[in-house]
Structure 1
Amino acid sequence: MAVKPSFKRGRPNPRAKKQGRTFTSTRLQDETKDLDIPEETHTEDDTPDDASHDASDSDLDASEPPVRPYNSLLLSLQHAQPPNADRRKRRRLNRGDAERGESPALSDREIAVDGLQPDEEVLEEVESADHDEPSELDDIDQDEPDSTSQSDPFHYHLGDRDEERLQNRISALKDNSIVSSSAKPRSGGSVQVLRPTTTGSSGDLKLPTSTLDPDALAIKSRFQESAQKVLKKAGDLDKDLAEHIFTYRDTMFASRTVKNAARIRKLTCLHMINHIFKTRDQVLKNNARLSKLGDGDVPDIRDQGFTRPKVLILLETRDMCAKYMDAFVEICGPDQQENKSRFQDSFVDTEPKFSSDRPEDFRELFEGNGDNDFKLGIKFTRKTMKFFAQFYQSDLILASPLGLRRTIESKGSKKAEYDFLSSIEVVVVDQADAMLMQNWEHVDFVFDHLNLQPKDAHGCDFTRVRSWYLDGNASFLRQTIVFSAFMTPELNNIFAKRMRNIEGKAKFLPEHLGVMQSSVVRVKQTFSRFDSAKPANDPDERFEYFKSAVLPALVRLPRPAEGGQGVLLFVPSYMDFVRLRNHFATSTSTESLSFGVISEYTDMPNARRARSHFISGKYSVLLYTGRAHHFRRNNIQGVKRIIMYGIPENPIFYQEFVDGYLGRSINEGLVDAAETHVRTLFSRWDMLKLERVVGAQRAKKMVMDNTGDTFDFL
């Protein structure tokens, strides 16, 4: 990486100034000529119209060079002031502007000089918080004590670490030398905790979480009142999570529900805002300390990463992003919110879309603005919260996996731009189960680009960069927090390979009793196990079993005219759906069966037509995909029998099919309860799905039983 660590983001180096080395903007421009900075580009989703404000301004602006020509004007104004002048921020919002969510007008002092129009983003560069000027002491919490106690998780995790302990833990993680323990949390279920093996000292910081209070969690004094409101109604779940989240331990929580979502969201936001402001105050105080030093020895201060963004939140929809921002505003309580009205226009949708008969998990995900292509940068100062900040000027980035990937892979760019992810210290993934219904590859792509060595300097002061960033070990100090409604192999992969925190990691799992136990409708339910030697062979083995054991019985069913058929064939995977659809259309063994299809790619008119023909009996079989049900929750009538080609990932689907589809047919007199039947295919690799339907204890017996491969329940 050909960079020169001496240049800054449009301002003199405080320590270089003490040594008589003040750089002007002309010098800075000369030094940046060797950097390969891409041209400004816009993707299709970056059009600056009203519908996509965030796509244009929240982009990382990969073409923005570290220094702009207007900096010379700023520096000239700066040097024109008296030596002891109090150089405060020039841009202030009055209260009226703040209430309207508008940006302030430029003052007379910022009017164009020599025909140059003042650039708001240039002014923002002078105000960067991770490298804020030492003169901005008005932005530091003056009443905040120095956070140097080893009982403070922030200082313990990111402060002046014992290098020997740090290297020992990193080596243990690289060698997969870990110690595991299990416990029963207060809120139920189980929690598995894994820590790197250490020698000489336990090295684990424990917080008194039996009764949550801001002091016990080392919350900054300015957020104490807000923290009291968040923690006032803390229950067992909050105490269980706080023990791991606030000690910077990686956390996988697989028991997220609509009811507990708001609680865990506020608790996590409290931790993130505390981390952001402690990082910011530490940098500003060190800036002030360096500015007072003489020409003697300068202390070795390591308090920064390569770039400013420190927290990344991956979310599925804009509506969930708006809920997170409400939580941040509630906790932070900023005096001013720049671009707030613009954020409301782009992310908030209060129009009701669905009736109350839709499932609550469906309404939580899709009721508001359900767009899943977005990215948003947030910048904090002591009194201001700015929406739509440039990524390199942001403290916090909220994005969907799709939106962030499109930003990194912007069309027309000379090279992919992901340096803004190089110094992320906290990652939160919420509603991971919903992301599984999209393209999970987007999530893997984002994690692949976290904490990589940057390609350009971006105004970094390398003398202030923490040692583990320079050594390429930043991922070992990154905290990763994932919330999901259930556990899947993809999430297990995140837990095993992406969570490599030196503080350890914790996995919360619920105690599965099985949704089958709570079914209202009592019908015969059969689970058929087929042999599958390897996960890679599972799709082929499943298809062969279906053709040999299930399809012949399906063909022998009575015709619709005789009161038979009405078979709903549920297929979780779209690839399996295509294989079955082609087989039904071309095989001679299925010539007597008429069938329709509804997938996530079926348009609404064709879907309505298929459902109508299925109700009337024109279609004997209806092929239905898991993602189609996830996105639409179709109310399918006329179902008399159900064949599940695979167990649905979401156990709620299974209950909706039995109680909803079959229950309605029974209540309407279309079929007698004794004639209905649910048959489900599974293999040993479906263990996680199976235990959510039949219960953990039954699932183990069904997978390991050698006496038979068919299990009937009523």
Structure 2
Amino acid sequence: MLLCISITKKSLKFFQSVYKSDFLIVSPVGLRTLLEKRRGKRKRNQSSDNSDSDSDDGTNNDDGSSSIADFLSSIESVYIDQLDVLSMQNLDHLFYILENLNCIPEQATSSTDFSRIRHWSLNGWARYYRQLIVLTSFTSPLFLSLFHRFSTNYAGQCLIQPTFPLNGFIRPLSTFNQLFQRIPVCDPTLRFNYFIEHILPRFDTSTYDHTLIYLSSYFDFVRLKNYMRTEKHKQFNYLTLSEYSTKKQILLARNIFYHREVRFLLMTERFHFYHRYRIKGIRHILFYDLPSYGHFYPEIAQFLTLPHVVDKKKTIPTAQIDEPSTCTALYAKEDALKLAYILGQTSVTDLLNSEKNTHLFTNK
């Protein structure tokens, strides 16, 4: 999406050329697609003396300049709304756009008014005068890294964080026990190796049939799925649900998981973000890592209270089964922000400072 707006004394004009607009309302993927299109056109123009103008996107200047992102050179204020929602898509597009802001144009056009060009802009200092405003419903190390990297205004930075709830989202969940286990690694590769060596074998028993494994990263999801599907580990009986699953695949996986003996159900965070299905038949939950959204934890954990099939003739709630349900969450010290949303600031301090690696929250 690319919406160009210009302001006059009496009206707003929409769908203007980017060179005549005052505001740009864009989606990261839409703007990057446009920049890549201009990059491809530039390569074609370099092989010929004449450059063709493309009037469809309204971004070409009067002289057919081959500059890729010259219309982003004069950006003075950037407003990123709902960064958390953008993270559920692909933040690489957003990083690409921010890296191309306030670059000095390679060529001047006939419509360029040099009397309006500031000296600090010619010196390449435009980024130090640019304002960056970011809004998000939660904080993460990745978001903080983005803000500190691209918020380069000479006046400094201002970070406003809401206070964490004292008790978090764990207190209302009183129907089953919840175990938080600290792991000594945070790197994705080291976490995966630790998981398959120490955690997964413990759940690969008949006692833990119908276990939901929740993964916040799609890359971890693919890595774990590929590990289970190899010939060496073909004994794993599992199903998958991801943001790329079709409606037919989702319906089939939910039906099989509910009516048959399946050991694991792998589910990504983006799948829950986009669909919010209430998965029935879950007896145990294992959080590979903590959810990005704090309220996702109780939403997923409440799946244990839904009914599931014990045999073909009788369906009873999970809470009434002799074998108790379990909810296990893995965390590292670097997950302090995620823990604060789930457990509350008081409990997080106790967990991180404790010498114990496991902490059990009971229903009593």
* Structure 1 length-normalised TM: 0.44
Deviations 1:480-521 (CA, angstroms, capped at 9, x unpaired): 111000011221112222112222221111221254335344
Find the aligned partners of 1:464 and 1:550 in 2 and give their Cα distance: 63
Alignment of 1:388-537 (within 5 A): 388-410=15-37, 412-414=40-42, 417-458=68-109, 459-513=111-165, 515-532=168-185
Find the aligned partners of 2:67 and 2:276 in 1 and give their Cα distance: 38
In the TM superposition, residue 409 of structure 1 has moved relative to its aligned partner by: 1.1
- Whether 1:385 and 2:16 are equivalent positions in the alignment is no
In the TM superposition, residue 530 of structure 1 has moved relative to its aligned partner by: 1.3
Find the aligned partners of 2:189 and 2:272 in 1 and give their Cα distance: 24
Kept in 2: contact 1:640–1:665 (CA 8 A): no
Deviations 1:9-62 (CA, angstroms, capped at 9, x unpaired): xxxxxxxxxxxxxxxxxxxxxxxxxxxxxxxxxxxxxxxxxxxxxxxxxxxxxx
- Whether 1:628 and 2:274 are equivalent positions in the alignment is no
Which blocks of at least 5 consecutive residues in structure 2 are unaligned? Answer: 43-65, 309-314
- Look up the match of 2:305: 663
- Look up the match of 1:672: 319
Find the aligned partners of 1:452 and 1:390 in 2 and give their Cα distance: 19
Larger proportion of strand: 2
Alignment of 1:161-560 (within 5 A): 374-410=1-37, 412-414=40-42, 417-458=68-109, 459-513=111-165, 515-532=168-185, 538-558=187-207
Find the aligned partners of 2:152 and 2:233 in 1 and give their Cα distance: 52
Find the aligned partners of 1:634 and 1:647 in 2 and give their Cα distance: 19
Specify whether residues 704 and 675 from structure 1 end up closer, same or farther in structure 2 by C-alpha distance, changes over 3 A only: same
- Look up the match of 1:586: 230
In the TM superposition, residue 619 of structure 1 has moved relative to its aligned partner by: 2.3
Find the aligned partners of 1:645 and 1:490 in 2 and give their Cα distance: 19
Find the aligned partners of 2:149 and 2:241 in 1 and give their Cα distance: 36
In the TM superposition, residue 463 of structure 1 has moved relative to its aligned partner by: 2.4
Kept in 1: contact 2:183–2:332 (CA 8 A): yes
Kept in 2: contact 1:515–1:655 (CA 8 A): no
- Look up the match of 2:361: 713
Find the aligned partners of 2:68 and 2:238 in 1 and give their Cα distance: 48
Which blocks of at least 5 consecutive residues in structure 1 are unaligned? Answer: 1-373, 559-563
For the residue of structure 2 that corresponds to 1:646, the secondary structure is coil
Find the aligned partners of 2:92 and 2:77 in 1 and give their Cα distance: 21
Find the aligned partners of 1:589 and 1:403 in 2 and give their Cα distance: 41
Kept in 1: contact 2:173–2:298 (CA 8 A): no
Find the aligned partners of 1:501 and 1:517 in 2 and give their Cα distance: 40
Find the aligned partners of 2:251 and 2:113 in 1 and give their Cα distance: 61
- Whether 1:571 and 2:215 are equivalent positions in the alignment is yes
2:304 is aligned with what amino acid? Answer: L
- Look up the match of 1:292: none
Q: Aligned residues: percent identity? A: 32
Deviations 1:637-664 (CA, angstroms, capped at 9, x unpaired): 11111001111111121121123x1232
For the residue of structure 2 that corresponds to 1:712, the secondary structure is strand
In the TM superposition, residue 589 of structure 1 has moved relative to its aligned partner by: 5.8
In the TM superposition, residue 672 of structure 1 has moved relative to its aligned partner by: 2.1
Comparing 427-436 with 581-590, which one deviates more in the overlay? 581-590
| Total equivalences in the alignment | 328
In the TM superposition, residue 549 of structure 1 has moved relative to its aligned partner by: 2.6
Kept in 2: contact 1:598–1:623 (CA 8 A): yes
For the pair shown, the structure with the greater C-alpha radius of gyration is: 1
- Whether 1:697 and 2:346 are equivalent positions in the alignment is yes
For the residue of structure 1 that corresponds to 2:347, the secondary structure is helix
For the residue of structure 1 that corresponds to 2:328, the secondary structure is strand
Specify whether residues 421 and 589 from structure 1 end up closer, same or farther in structure 2 by C-alpha distance, changes over 3 A only: closer
In the TM superposition, residue 545 of structure 1 has moved relative to its aligned partner by: 2.3
Kept in 2: contact 1:408–1:416 (CA 8 A): no
For the residue of structure 2 that corresponds to 1:505, the secondary structure is coil
Specify whether residues 658 and 603 from structure 1 end up closer, same or farther in structure 2 by C-alpha distance, changes over 3 A only: same
Comparing 668-677 with 600-609, which one deviates more in the overlay? 668-677
Find the aligned partners of 2:281 and 2:159 in 1 and give their Cα distance: 42
Comparing 689-698 with 638-647, which one deviates more in the overlay? 689-698
* Structure 2 length-normalised TM: 0.84
TM-align CA RMSD: 2.0
- Look up the match of 1:613: 256
Find the aligned partners of 1:610 and 1:517 in 2 and give their Cα distance: 29
- Look up the match of 1:331: none
Kept in 2: contact 1:529–1:682 (CA 8 A): yes
Of structures 1 and 2, the one scoring higher in RCO (CA 8 A, sep 6+) is 2
